[in-house]
Amino acid sequence: MRIAIITETFLPSTDGVVTRLCASIRWLRNEGHEVMVIAPDLGVKEYEGAIVAGIPAYKLFVYKETRKFSFYSKKIKTFLEEFNPDIVHAVNPSFLGVTGVYYTKKLKLPLMASYHTHVPKYADYYNVSFLKPAMWTYFKTIHNRAALNLCTSKAVLGELSEKGFKNIHLWKRGVDTKQFHPDFYSDDMRERLTNGQPDKTLLLFVGRLAAEKEIERIRPLLDHSDDFCLAIVGDGPNRALLEEEFAHTNTIFTGFMHGDELAQAYASADVFAFPSTTETLGLVLMEAMAAGLPVLAANSGPTAEQIVNGETGILFDPEVPASLLRAADQLKAKEKRDEMGQRAHTDIQSVGWDDSAAQLMDYYQETLRLHYGESSEEQSGR
């Protein structure tokens, strides 16, 4: 099959969407499928044998430090015509993806879309809450142009259904259980992340430093107890504000980490902190669990699907500051943390990327059947 993937973000950017796409593309290429990725032009031209077709990238007001967003471009039509795909997959269509949806429909190509980011919920964090109804209408309209839609958690599937999104299906979660593993523990990394205080209980946050991640929720815990220290791994538009917020606490900011360095960071911590309630899944939760970490997380629908409260982590009420302190108290004892971490590591071992990617292919076949109203094999046997 010839598959065109139009995405708002791709390498060298690193986030849950990119990680999922890369794992899916590797599987598709290993199965012999041809893949073209249409994405903001950040210098990458090829991945695992898949063509990466770049669209000029620009800055956005909330990410002024880097060019990473693409908008309307007729190049998408040219790329699609030249590649002549059997199916188009619009990933998180917001800006670039909208153009992709438009030209896909103009060229009468089968279209599937996937929803990964709760952009309307972000409005509350950027003082534009009044735009939420219009934003929901916008994204519903885009996604309902597709024959089939995917999302990554049952909670989000229910929410999107209530909002009027059509033909929505659950795309299985996945994580690399070989890359993230307790065996990557490093004394040197722990020394670094604790700022030379390795005997303290090390909390780890990994992710984009943006308002919707609500990282400041962790601050009261550091004020309440000197037993904890915090390592914040990642970067983003809110870094300067967060550095000011966490000044005079046991906190360090490392910037981005990748590969073995990131694996060591997970494995060398004691507890993974996940304060956000706007996630549609939370891949970093699964990476932390694979590394053997118990999770201290704000309770939300998607998060509760990943964490068994009291067994693989502790959920706290994000609206009640004292709830965080009570939850953290349950993780002070090393024996309790080790027990939860081992259970988290064991539970996540059955979650791999191959099943997720194979399921994606099934959805591609279903999209072809919906588009053509006949056997998809007749359409994809080029």
Q: What is the mean pLDDT of residues 316-332?
A: 95
Buried b vs exposed e over 59-72: b needs ≥16 C-beta within 10 Å?
eeeeeeeeebbbee
Is the CA virtual torsion 319, 322, 325, 330 positive or negative? negative
- Domain identity same for 270 and 304: yes
pLDDT level of residue 68 (50, 70, 90 thresholds): confident
CA-based nearest residue to 85, from 103, 72, 70: 103
- Whether the pLDDT of residue 158 is over 60: the answer is yes
83-105 tens-digit pLDDT: 999 999 999 999 999 999 999 99
- Whether the pLDDT of residue 379 is over 50: the answer is no
Task: Judge whether 315 and 303 are in contact, CB under 8 Å.
Answer: yes
Q: What is the mean pLDDT of residues 177-203?
A: 98
Task: Judge whether 279 and 304 are in contact, CB under 8 Å.
Answer: no
Pick the range with the lowest mean pLDDT from 17-26, 251-260, 365-374.
365-374
Task: Judge whether 41 and 71 are in contact, CB under 8 Å.
Answer: no
- Domain identity same for 112 and 32: yes
| Residue 374 confidence (pLDDT) | 54
Q: What share of the chain in percent tops pLDDT 90? A: 92
- Domain identity same for 337 and 363: no
Please state whether beta strands 228-233 and 251-255 pair in parallel, antiparallel, or not at all (unpaired).
Answer: parallel
Tokens of 225: 């107890």
Please tell me the distance from the alpha carbon of residue 130 to that of residue 135, in angstroms, as a whole number. Answer: 10
40-58 tens-digit pLDDT: 999 999 999 999 999 998 8
Please tell me the distance from the alpha carbon of residue 59 to that of residue 364, in angstroms, as a whole number. Answer: 33
Task: Judge whether 175 and 286 are in contact, CB under 8 Å.
Answer: yes
120-149 tens-digit pLDDT: 999 999 999 999 999 999 999 999 999 999
- DSSP H or E segment with residue 25: helix 16-30
207-241 tens-digit pLDDT: 999 999 999 999 999 999 999 999 999 999 999 99
- Domain identity same for 192 and 236: yes
Task: Judge whether 122 and 116 are in contact, CB under 8 Å.
Answer: no
Task: Judge whether 266 and 288 are in contact, CB under 8 Å.
Answer: yes
- Domain identity same for 51 and 115: yes
Numbers of helices and strands, H then E, in the chain? 16, 14
Task: Judge whether 185 and 268 are in contact, CB under 8 Å.
Answer: yes
- List the domain range (segments joined by +) for residue 205: 182-348
- Domain identity same for 376 and 271: no
Q: What is the mean pLDDT of residues 253-269?
A: 97
- Whether the pLDDT of residue 114 is over 70: the answer is yes
Buried b vs exposed e over 289-317: b needs ≥16 C-beta within 10 Å?
bbbbbbbbbbbbbbbebbbeeeebbbbbe
CB-CB neighbours of 31 under 10 Å: 11
Please tell me the distance from the alpha carbon of residue 99 to that of residue 8, in angstroms, as a whole number. Answer: 11
- Whether the pLDDT of residue 376 is over 80: the answer is no
Q: What is the mean pLDDT of residues 5-14?
A: 95
- Domain identity same for 343 and 362: no
pLDDT level of residue 381 (50, 70, 90 thresholds): very low
The structure's pTM equals 0.93
Task: Judge whether 29 and 47 are in contact, CB under 8 Å.
Answer: no
- Domain identity same for 126 and 248: no
The Cα-based distances of 307 to 86, 297, 348, 375 in angstroms read 38, 8, 10, 40
* Strand arrangement of the beta sheet that strand 271-274 belongs to: 251-255, 228-233, 201-206, 271-274, 295-298, 313-316
Task: Transcribe 137-185 into DSSP letters.
Answer: HHHHHHHTTSSEEEES-HHHHHHHHHHT--SEEEPPP---TTTS-GGG-
CA atoms in the 13 A half-sphere facing the CB of 307: 32
| Residue 33 confidence (pLDDT) | 98
- Domain identity same for 236 and 359: no
Q: What is the mean pLDDT of residues 339-354?
A: 96
| Residue 62 confidence (pLDDT) | 54
Number of independent structural domains in the chain: 2
Q: For residue 306, what are the contacts with CB-CB under 8 A and spacing of at least 6? A: 173, 281, 282, 285, 286, 289, 295
**DSSP structural state of residue 238:** T
- Whether the pLDDT of residue 161 is over 90: the answer is yes
The Cα-based distances of 195 to 206, 250, 266, 376 in angstroms read 17, 8, 16, 57
For residues 91 and 382, the model is more confident at: 91
CATH number at residue 62: 3.40.50.2000
- Domain identity same for 374 and 325: no
- Domain identity same for 297 and 369: no
- Domain identity same for 206 and 223: yes
